[in-house]
Structure 1
Amino acid sequence: DIQFITPDELVPLLGDSAIYVKRFSWIMYDVPQFMSHYYHWWGEIILGGWRVYSRVGLDPDGTFHPERLQLPDRFLLPIVVDGEWRDKARVVGPLMRAAFPQAAIEERDHWLDLIRLNSTIVFQRALVTNRRAAHRHRWGGRWGKMIAGTQEVEVAEYDPSSPSPDHEGFWSPLRKSLTLNLLGYLPTFASLNNRTVLSPPSDQSDKPVVTYIDRQGTGRRLTEESHASMVEALEALDKEGLCEVQIVKMEHVGLREQVRLVARSAIIVGVHGNGLTHQLWMPPSERSTVIEIVYPGSYDFDYEMLARNMGHKHYIVWNDTLITYPKGTYHEGVQILDGFHSPRIYVHGPAVAQKIRERLLGTEGDDAEKPDI
């Protein structure tokens, strides 16, 4: 529980001495079930918490000052023991070290030590995230997402018209911290509209980069016919010279390489799954797009919520139909059909390729894309 007290109540309630914990502590009240998952950790806990915290860097007139956003010095996990927060793929922990290289991650034993002192603990700066409390927000049931309520918080968003070098929005400090620490550089592009990669030399491309995340070795995947259709359609775009296509099974390459691939991408395509969480490391632009393939008729908000926060355009694909919602509008409810987690997902590759063409050329017509559903 959180209790707000007045200065007059301070000593009677908390005593006349305290242990002072300097700098920035991030306290995460969450359970291993969700913490040990790449999407839930980075796409809900970190993203939602950082969205709220980024208000520290926002002036009343909307000017964003990312330099005000001190990175956390420690993460406290009061409920978790024995590394239960780590995901099976071992992605969460290493990416935390890359984004927050100076921060300690302390589990329940640390929290119990503080409790056993039976003393008042004062945190100089603290951010508290609590999944149970977050779901009490009126939007929690609307999208079924921990971060739903944070979408009401006014933050610095991706704004291509801004003269500020930090037009990329509230997430840019974390994306840049992780990318720069892990790769040693930030890829540069020709412009927000032209996503050819200029530097570094090892990543240069004279065409925008499209990354297709191949999930054919997992349980939730395309039929073999649909996968072949996707590959054929994408390779045709590459051969035509419209884009450079990267087809990758993320589980077969190292974590550094995974981040490198998405950091140079303009568009990411894939079946609903953890790989789409990597959009967190794709720079926003006028062309940045996430195309999420699901079993037709199904709808989930996981990666749409990420895309909206990042400044990427998001599409759900139902076979040959691509669905998108403009800012301020949303699909009505979550729909998880029987085939959602199956190996029977099907898609018409040429329809996806056509949308990629439109996005890269800037010729799509958004008003016509949302069907009556």
Structure 2
Amino acid sequence: MEGLRRPRVLLVLTTGVLLLLTFTTLHVSPTARAYTSDKLPSVSIPKIFSKPSSAIPPIIPSVFSPSIESTPLDTTHDTISPNPTISQTRYLGGVPGHQVFQNIWIKDQTFYVLNRRRKTMPGMSRVVSGDTLWEVVRDPMDKSLIGAENALMMEGSTVFVNDGAKAGQWHFLSSYYPFIAEVFLGAVTALASVPAPKEMVEEVRPGIEVPSVPSRVIIPWKGADGWRDGEGMNELVLKGVLGNENLLEPINWDVLSSHSQAHGGWIFFERVVIADRWASHRHNPLSDNLNKMAASIFSRPHPPFFFTPIRHALLAHLDIPIPKPRRDPQRSLGKLPKIVYIDRQDTDRRLSSEGHKELSVVLGEIEALGEAHVGHKKMGKLDGKSQIEAVYDADIIIGIHGDALTNQLWMPEGGILIELFPDDSWLPTHQLVSDILNHEYIPIWNDRALSRDEWEALSRMHGEHKLNNGETIPLDGTFVRLLLEEIVQRMVGP
């Protein structure tokens, strides 16, 4: 009998050890924690298979949740006053290039930070660059703060764009994507990533609070005078979201910060995010490796739908109706999905004639069969409002890599972006924005879609020359038909 019992004992012990190892793995592995925590992403990114005949797995319906459910409320919000004996500076968070502070002064292009614990404040190079200076003061009676108690108060939240702080230094503001999708979107992300007082947040969905639209954007330095892009999108977005009076340019700043004013040139910010491209690239390995200023702030925890107030403010300003919210990520807003094809055939970066023809035919057939609504748009031929109208209720945007894909910002969260590349080339430009807005991102090489593992293994400027050598980009019609049909079915499926 004893001999018969030993195998059973060994079996029980072996099973116990295996269960213990499994339990330990689930509770120790960072990957496991990420998927079991209710404060972390619960949406897994679907795999897109390379073979045209492969099916795209459906997304399991779930709440949009990139990291945290709501902007934490700041319950230690001190009395706001420009008087240094009352208000000390608090560093709220962010990353170099997008740092957020409460109670901070500026005069003569120098920021004054008042805090007895100097080490709790970031160093100058992590916040500003160019000719902008940074002085940390411990004693509120320090002579450098004389006059600060009479400062002009900037209440609410401010986006302070320090790019252009050095004359002659290229600032990258005069293009749509670098300004709106990096500087501005990055600043909004930074504000969403730190605690906020209840008067600075709003509820966008039941139980989800996000920062309200910033009170103002300041572009103060003359070196940034050329911040308007050729198509006028930068100005349209900023003035549409904020209102004309809340966008302060160098000419406005010169008047506001003049010593002849009653406040003697002192300006006090209740809450400010300081955006500085060079600080980001200097101190953020991720931003520098991807050559994208906002990549690091995008990786910080933030609530879902934090961009909703910005998008709604712009739509309301342009008298564009606000669509109903998407029920789940990658689900159709209406009964039929809306596909928008951004056509670049009149530019040097375009599809082959055959590829463009096949894509147009596929889209036409999908619409004729009543499976989707289709918009075929040449964004370069449209004014700013028309560009935004083209995508405000889109479910799927498809187009070649280029600045026009920045308009994915105005597609409701949880859509799909299909970006077309020449074979063996890829840039992270629009993938970063897709991720922050919970859009599914699908890059295409002719007859296959890259998986996340594949594109993350590529270098930041992989095959960039192929986008600029004037050669046309191939696209397999059979593959794109299968891809779109599967996506459409998934978006409207049960």
Tell me: CA distance 1:13–1:148, structure 2 relative to 1, closer, same or farther (3 Å).
farther
User: Structure 1, residues 99-156: CA drift from partner, whole Å, max 9, x if none?
Assistant: 1125433333444556652754322222210000011201123211001111331101
The answer on whether the counterparts of 2:331 and 2:490 sit within 8 Å (CA) in structure 1 is no
Partners in 1 of 2:389 and 2:250 — Cα distance?
34
User: Structure 1, residues 57-102: CA drift from partner, whole Å, max 9, x if none?
Assistant: 679xxx6423x425223423324354x1010111211122211125
| Equivalent residue for 1:41, pick from 179, 192, 196 | 179
Secondary structure of the structure 2 residue equivalent to 1:176: helix
The answer on whether the counterparts of 2:339 and 2:398 sit within 8 Å (CA) in structure 1 is yes
2:347 counterpart of 1:213:
no
Pairwise CA distance, 1:303: 0.5
Per the alignment, residue 333 of structure 1 pairs with 459
2:349 counterpart of 1:223:
no
The answer on whether the counterparts of 1:80 and 1:107 sit within 8 Å (CA) in structure 2 is no
Per the alignment, residue 144 of structure 2 pairs with 14
2:209 counterpart of 1:85:
no
2:214 counterpart of 1:71:
yes
Tell me: CA distance 1:343–1:103, structure 2 relative to 1, closer, same or farther (3 Å).
farther
Per the alignment, residue 159 of structure 2 pairs with 26
Secondary structure of the structure 2 residue equivalent to 1:50: helix
The answer on whether the counterparts of 1:27 and 1:78 sit within 8 Å (CA) in structure 2 is no
| Equivalent residue for 2:290, pick from 135, 143, 164 | 143
The answer on whether the counterparts of 2:213 and 2:241 sit within 8 Å (CA) in structure 1 is no
Secondary structure of the structure 2 residue equivalent to 1:346: coil
Per the alignment, residue 81 of structure 2 pairs with none
Gaps of 5+ in 2: 1-109, 117-137, 165-169, 198-206
Partners in 2 of 1:319 and 1:145 — Cα distance?
26
Per the alignment, residue 268 of structure 2 pairs with 122
Identity in percent: 22
Secondary structure of the structure 2 residue equivalent to 1:265: coil
Secondary structure of the structure 2 residue equivalent to 1:188: coil
TM normalised by structure 1 equals: 0.81
Per the alignment, residue 312 of structure 1 pairs with 439
Which sits farther off after the overlay, 303-312 or 100-109? 100-109
The answer on whether the counterparts of 2:420 and 2:443 sit within 8 Å (CA) in structure 1 is yes
Partners in 2 of 1:122 and 1:87 — Cα distance?
30
Pairwise CA distance, 1:53: 0.6
Secondary structure of the structure 1 residue equivalent to 2:142: helix
Secondary structure of the structure 2 residue equivalent to 1:123: strand
By relative contact order (CA 8 Å, sep 6+), the higher-ranking structure is 2
Gaps of 5+ in 1: 158-168, 198-205, 364-373
Count of matched residue pairs: 336
Structure 2 residue identity aligned to 1:355:
L
Cα RMSD (Å) of the superposition?
2.7
Which is higher, the Rg of structure 1 or of structure 2?
2
| Equivalent residue for 1:290, pick from 398, 417, 420 | 417
Structure 2 residue identity aligned to 1:212:
Y
| Equivalent residue for 1:347, pick from 458, 472, 475 | 475
Partners in 1 of 2:312 and 2:458 — Cα distance?
34
Per the alignment, residue 362 of structure 2 pairs with 233
Secondary structure of the structure 2 residue equivalent to 1:237: helix
TM normalised by structure 2 equals: 0.62
The answer on whether the counterparts of 1:54 and 1:69 sit within 8 Å (CA) in structure 2 is no
Secondary structure of the structure 1 residue equivalent to 2:223: coil
The answer on whether the counterparts of 1:26 and 1:75 sit within 8 Å (CA) in structure 2 is yes
Pairwise CA distance, 1:299: 0.9
Structure 2 residue identity aligned to 1:210:
I
Tell me: CA distance 1:91–1:72, structure 2 relative to 1, closer, same or farther (3 Å).
same
Structure 2 residue identity aligned to 1:305:
L
Partners in 2 of 1:186 and 1:244 — Cα distance?
18
Partners in 2 of 1:70 and 1:230 — Cα distance?
39
Tell me: CA distance 1:112–1:58, structure 2 relative to 1, closer, same or farther (3 Å).
closer
